[in-house]
Structure 1
Amino acid sequence: MFRPLPFFVGLRYTRAKRRNHFISFISLMSMVGLTLGVCVLIIVMSVMNGFDRELKQRILGMVPHATITSASGGMQDWQKVLDQVSEHKGIVAAAPFVDGQGMLASGSQVRGTMVYGIDPAYEEKVSIVNQHMTQGALEALKPGEFGIVLGEIMAQYLGVTLGDKVTMVLPEANVNLAGVFPRLKRFTVVGIFSVGAEVDGSLAYINIQDAARFMRVSEGVEGIRLKMENLFEAPKLAWDVAVQLPGRYYVQDWTRTQGQLFQAIQMEKTMVGLLLTLIVAVAAFNIVSTLVMVVTDKQSDIAILRTLGASPKTIMGIFMVQGSLIGVVGTLLGIVLGIIAALNVSEIVSGLESLLGIRFLSPDVYFISYLPSELQWRDVAVISIAGLSMSFLATLYPAWRASKTQPAEALRYD
């Protein structure tokens, strides 16, 4: 006789055609529900991982990981400070900068912007902007020529391209005998970048010497921008570096400028994962109703097995095998479909956008313009274990109820 009797009989019950087709339908729906729940959970977690990755690579690749600025205004001996900072462990690169806020105008179009005065030779070490130039080059920002590099969204909004002129207006005023006038300067567009994020519509780059002259930074450099090896060590590392420098310095890191966005994504990932896990739990516990109906339908079979010598433990094992098989098949199908969908969700959404002629993620609203996805096998493993565990737990009560069946009562009217 086949030794693992519960496994053998449980498989036979699963494969057997039931007289009650409603029970077969409920079993199928339990399996389909579990498959869809696991599949959707994998897809959503992969998309949230993708947003997290894009935040780190694109947004934090453009904005400073940390900055060190002098408390007295312009930074004296910035070259010496930059060399000292670059030698610190955990810092990949450093670059001088001048920054400010202003407005860019072209014709009747006006838009606010964050302006960075940079040295192209240093900037490519701390920023990804040079890797995403669609027109022109960052090296075209030469001192004295007052060139400007704009994001693609900014350029489209202003209606400008390479060689066109834009006017930059600073939120300061010049006072003279003729009255009060805003400080403004004409710049020539020498480059356009596109990283597919909100910074395409909010950042502009000019040469650091032009920026110092226009913004009246006496020392020529306002501060040092740092690129960290580990983003999450930025607050502590930047502070440690500033403490070792002679003089007084202000420190700011990305957790103050972009931290809320990162925290929002982490919180959404946790909450969405929890809600979808509850959906998987509901699908898994549909197995309870399925097995309860199966136990009721198989009362006479259970009684016969008991009279032939099957123990309550054996009866319980039979129905646990049957219910667990539904959970295993449903979970595995969900994992396979979820992995396939997660690996191709960006292309699927892009195809739908082209087919329907709509834009699901507008860069004017969201911080990226496409749906990212990053499949992490750790998430797949956790979801798999959760689905299988809940499926197994769902079999315990019906199987226990089957093991309590009394043969005499079950066969009384048969």
Structure 2
Amino acid sequence: MSYEWFVSLRYLRAKRKQTFISVISFISIAGVTLGVAALIVVLAVMTGFHDGVRQQILGNIPHVLIQKQGTEISDYPKAVEKALSSSPHVTAATPFVSKEAMLLSKRNVAAVNVKGIEQGNKIFRQKFLTQEDRDVQELLFDTAATMPGIIIGLDTATSLGIAVGESVNVIPPMFNITPFGMIPKMKPFRVVGIFSQRGGFLDTYFGYISLGQAQHFFDAENQATGIEIEVDSFDHANQVASELRQAFGYPYVVRSWEDMFGSFLSALKLEKLGLFIVLGIIVLVAAFNIATTLIMVVMEKHKDIAILKAIGATSKSVMKIFVLEGLIIGVLGTSLGTSLGLLFAKNADPIIKGLERMLGIRIFDQAVYGMDRFPSVVNPGDVVAVVAVALTISLLATIYPAWRAARMDPAEALRYD
């Protein structure tokens, strides 16, 4: 161990008459600890909310959407094959037919987007309420059924006042010409399944029928409204969309999920950055405590510094002593804060539930946020950024006191002693 390290560690342990300096050092370490822990926990929670909202959006929304401007896609089987071969990140490509429609039942009306889908669509990965807990795909694509099936959301079912097994009339914005004039097109469907997508805000807008029924009912035989593309990771959506735009020229329109909902998620990212800056001020305040501690040590130890310089210590060594002392405080505070922050961030859900049981209050309402647990996702990049910022601020706080100690004149410091 070099003598600079030894002296730095020794200065952190105050003598009986210098207890106040030791208390200030402890407060500095505690300040850095709390600041780093708060940053890690808040960033983890914001990341969790961001990912939760993104999963809600992508529950019923494709990663990439291909449509044809102003018309339907007539040669959709070829387009599906072309999309599958366009990028190695594409895992599925499924055609669909959609049309806005009114659902009518028991004198209640609800507006939905009725979408015709194929078997194996991503929406079937969620849980459904069905009769006798039967498989919803089996019921929806049952060709022997007397009435075609439809899947609706819980909010829509509540608005219409219907349950599984009951019928609902689907009325698209289309008309039949009869001897009595134009009559709105209408067809009864049986509700074979009800889903409750997390978040609820997508439930109201979707109803699902089989692709064949949709093509026949909406006069779109052998046509598709668009093609839904699924990729191996939603982070690859923009890259896949760019590759698909090159493969599909005009009049095809290719949009990723970020193109459709990116502005909302960008607002969450901006809020996360703002919280990082605001909470970073806590670490900055702790850094002022570090600077204050070192200034007081320099004032208290002016004799020691003078003696060190008189026996041959260089200004660089003296400066190194106080820089190391500040870094020890910063590293201790950052290490403790990182450990504490990771502990809280990774156990946020049980901690919140424990506080709710102990205090008898509701801190996190799952029904409001549409999440089954308190969201907290630790991003290694965020942790590294917090540690780097904390150590950098701690280092910068040591420069001025260390510089003043290095400039001290031994003769001037010992003149009156």
Q: Residue 33 of structure 2 aligns with which residue? A: 35
1:131 aligns with 2:122: no
Q: Residue 334 of structure 1 aligns with which residue? A: 337
AA in 2 matched with 1:255: E
User: How far apart are 1:346 and its partner, in Å?
Assistant: 3.3
Q: Cα deviations across residues 336-376 of structure 1 (Å, max 9, x unaligned)?
A: 11111221223333555566453636666x57565422222
Map 1:183-222 onto structure 2 (within 5 A): 184-197=186-199, 198-222=201-225
Q: Residue 281 of structure 1 aligns with which residue? A: 284
Map 1:101-140 onto structure 2 (within 5 A): 101-104=100-103, 111-121=110-120, 123=121, 127=122, 129-136=123-130, 137-140=136-139
Q: Cα deviations across residues 137-193 of structure 1 (Å, max 9, x unaligned)?
A: 233213573322233454456555432444545456678777877655543332233
User: How far apart are 1:384 and its partner, in Å?
Assistant: 1.4
Q: Cα deviations across residues 16-65 of structure 1 (Å, max 9, x unaligned)?
A: 34524443333222211211111122122223333443455442252122
Query: Which of the residues 358, 361, 365 maps onto 2:362?
Result: 358
The verdict on how the C-alpha distance between 1:249 and 1:10 changes in structure 2, with shifts beyond 3 A counting, is closer
CA contact (8 A) 2:64 2:241 kept: yes
1:242 aligns with 2:248: yes
The verdict on how the C-alpha distance between 1:250 and 1:381 changes in structure 2, with shifts beyond 3 A counting, is closer
Query: Which of the residues 230, 237, 246 maps onto 1:231?
Result: 237
Query: Which of the residues 83, 86, 102 maps onto 1:85?
Result: 83
AA in 1 matched with 2:92: A
The verdict on how the C-alpha distance between 1:233 and 1:139 changes in structure 2, with shifts beyond 3 A counting, is farther
The verdict on how the C-alpha distance between 1:149 and 1:310 changes in structure 2, with shifts beyond 3 A counting, is same
Q: Residue 98 of structure 1 aligns with which residue? A: 97
SS of the counterpart of 2:164?
coil
Deviates more, 1:77-86 or 1:319-328: 77-86
Deviates more, 1:39-48 or 1:14-23: 14-23
CA distance in 2, matches of 1:94, 1:161: 32
CA distance in 1, matches of 2:7, 2:40: 33
CA distance in 2, matches of 1:309, 1:185: 98
CA contact (8 A) 1:209 1:220 kept: no
CA distance in 1, matches of 2:253, 2:28: 59
CA distance in 1, matches of 2:7, 2:248: 72
Q: Residue 148 of structure 2 aligns with which residue? A: 146
AA in 2 matched with 1:83: E
AA in 2 matched with 1:140: L
CA contact (8 A) 2:11 2:297 kept: no
Q: Percent identity?
A: 38
Q: Residue 64 of structure 2 aligns with which residue? A: 66
CA distance in 2, matches of 1:222, 1:294: 74
Q: Residue 24 of structure 2 aligns with which residue? A: 26
Deviates more, 1:351-360 or 1:249-258: 351-360
Q: Cα deviations across residues 98-122 of structure 1 (Å, max 9, x unaligned)?
A: 123344466576554333211124x
CA contact (8 A) 1:315 1:403 kept: yes
User: How far apart are 1:228 and its partner, in Å?
Assistant: 2.9
The verdict on how the C-alpha distance between 1:109 and 1:17 changes in structure 2, with shifts beyond 3 A counting, is farther
TM-score (norm 2): 0.83
CA distance in 1, matches of 2:222, 2:349: 47
AA in 2 matched with 1:151: G
The verdict on how the C-alpha distance between 1:222 and 1:307 changes in structure 2, with shifts beyond 3 A counting, is closer
CA distance in 2, matches of 1:210, 1:252: 26
Q: Residue 325 of structure 1 aligns with which residue? A: 328
User: How far apart are 1:95 and its partner, in Å?
Assistant: 0.9
1:344 aligns with 2:347: yes
CA distance in 2, matches of 1:370, 1:175: 53
Which ranges of structure 1 fall in alignment gaps of 5 or more residues?
A: none
Q: Residue 405 of structure 1 aligns with which residue? A: 408
CA contact (8 A) 2:140 2:209 kept: yes
CA distance in 2, matches of 1:7, 1:261: 51
TM-score (norm 1): 0.83
CA contact (8 A) 1:35 1:334 kept: yes
CA distance in 1, matches of 2:181, 2:25: 83
The verdict on how the C-alpha distance between 1:6 and 1:71 changes in structure 2, with shifts beyond 3 A counting, is closer
Query: Which of the residues 265, 270, 273 maps onto 2:268?
Result: 265
